[in-house]
Chain A
Amino acid sequence: MSILNDPSITNPAPQTRLDSLTEAQKSLMTVWRDKWIAIGLSTAEADHKMFEEAAQICYKAAKLAPFKRVVWVKSPAIMAQVAPRAAVILARGKASKDQRRAGLPTDEVRKLVDEAIGRASVDAELNEVTMSDITNMWGRYIGGQFWVGGWYLGSPASVSYMHDVCGLDLGDLQERAEAYAKTAMSCSWWWPHTEFIIACDRPRVIARDGQGRLHREDGPAVEYRDGWGVYSWHGVAVPADVILHPESITVVDIEKTTNVEIRRVKTERYGHGRYIEDSGAKKLHEDEFGVLYRKDIPNDEPLVMVRVKNTTPEADGTYKFYYLTVHPELRPLLGGNRFGEPQSPTARNAVASTFGLRGEEYAPSRES
């Protein structure tokens, strides 16, 4: 029996020891990696039946009594609030009649939070608190789809490769290995308890850029089925407004932002050239090639840009100007993240550096 049930894999001869890999086995590594990355980043609906059957086998393997029920939630935000409350209520025992209360609607919770803090809370504040809850309870989850890989060989991806492709037989442990893999193949995070499991549906969106970093320009990069999610710009988690309302970003806002990564994103969203113009950047030099500016940024490298003019006029006879970001020391950009030696701060040297040249090497017949 294989874990992934890939029909293209011929059942390998069972082995109890694996010391070397054949070329045929090696050739399937990339295929296997991609299969598990796809499982890990799946946005399909959760497979409740597969999870619940597999999770019971996991409990049995852990010598626990069968759990009584699985409660499905749509996001880790809900899980982080439901699971501890349910666990605390169960730990306290059966409520007496005097202690019984009606349900506590979300709106009522919010109203009381507002009352306690003396003003109307805003979504961003409540989200921040929820995020804090989730982070603080990180160690109580099992990762589901997100733990398919791992630093060790016990991960579902590695175990299934060694079993399905290489024939490694884990004997008595095989059933639980398959069960654990199935929990990862069927849902997102889950929270095990003696009596219940809170299991989370998979996200409906996981958006990444070309380098595999979380990135989405018009919504949460990870978005669960109840709308809760995380906004991210090329792998940097940012407040929602940075993604949804970049027009609300101001120079003051950028300069008050202490997190360097978020500040860089805000500057990018605001526009580097516009930021240079609006933030009081220092003009370092001007010549026939352009105007060189420098903006010092606390706890980060300075932003240095050269403003150049397009030599081809627009239809109305005007000229467009562009800002080019250059190395703070005007080191020529050589490609492959390599840079040449520093240059003195002139506009000519700056423009030359964008072509991988030093100023004295740069002699364009015409600028563009």
Chain B
Amino acid sequence: MGTVDDTVRGAVYDAVFGEIDDAVDNAVGRSAGVAVYDAVGGSVEGAVHREVATKTVT
């Protein structure tokens, strides 16, 4: 399955998620980051990814 070009997915993901995550991690203090994660990103993750996405394709 190497022919499906795994490197593209990795490159795109790193550029649009990984690098942004690093930048935000550096720019946001711990307490503010935890608060945003708990109330926004993590909550959205639970409702959308954990409850719907993973149960659709795995």
Contacts and interface: CB of A to CB of B under 8 A. Distances in A.
Interface of A: 16-21, 26, 29-30, 32-33, 36-37, 40-41, 58-59, 61-64, 76, 83-84, 87-88, 91-92, 134-135, 137-143, 145-155, 157-159, 161-162, 168, 170-171, 173, 176-177, 179-180, 183, 189, 191-194, 206, 208, 212-214, 222, 230, 232, 235, 237
Q: Is the interface of B mostly helix, strand, loop or mixed?
A: helix
What range describes how many residues of B lie at the interface?
A: 35 or more
Contacts of A192: 8-9, 12
Nearest to B28: A18
Contacts of B43: 33, 37, 149
Given A61-B15, A146-B52, A179-B16, A153 B24 contact: yes
Contacts of B37: 152-153, 158
Contact of B40 (A18, A33, A194): A33
Contacts of B53: 143, 146-147
Nearest to A17: B27
A153 B3 contact: no
A154 B28 CA distance: 11
Given A138-B57, A148-B48, A62 B14 contact: yes
Given A153-B25, A157-B41, A40 B48 contact: yes
Contact of A33 (B3, B17, B39): B39
In order of increasing CB-CB distance, the 7 nearest A-B pairs are A154-B21, A149-B44, A40-B48, A149-B45, A146-B53, A158-B41, A19-B29
A36 B12 contact: no
A88 B1 CA distance: 8
B44 A155 contact: yes
Contacts of A171: 23
B23 to A, nearest CB: 5
A176 B17 CA distance: 9
Given A62-B14, A155-B41, A193-B8, 13 more contacts: A17-B29, A21-B32, A37-B43, A61-B16, A138-B57, A142-B9, A146-B49, A146-B56, A149-B42, A153-B21, A153-B24, A154-B24, A214-B55
13 contacts: A19-B31, A37-B44, A40-B47, A64-B8, A140-B6, A149-B49, A154-B21, A154-B24, A155-B17, A161-B36, A162-B24, A170-B27, A180-B17
A20 B16 CA distance: 25
A29 B40 contact: yes
A162 B36 contact: yes
B40 to A, nearest CB: 5
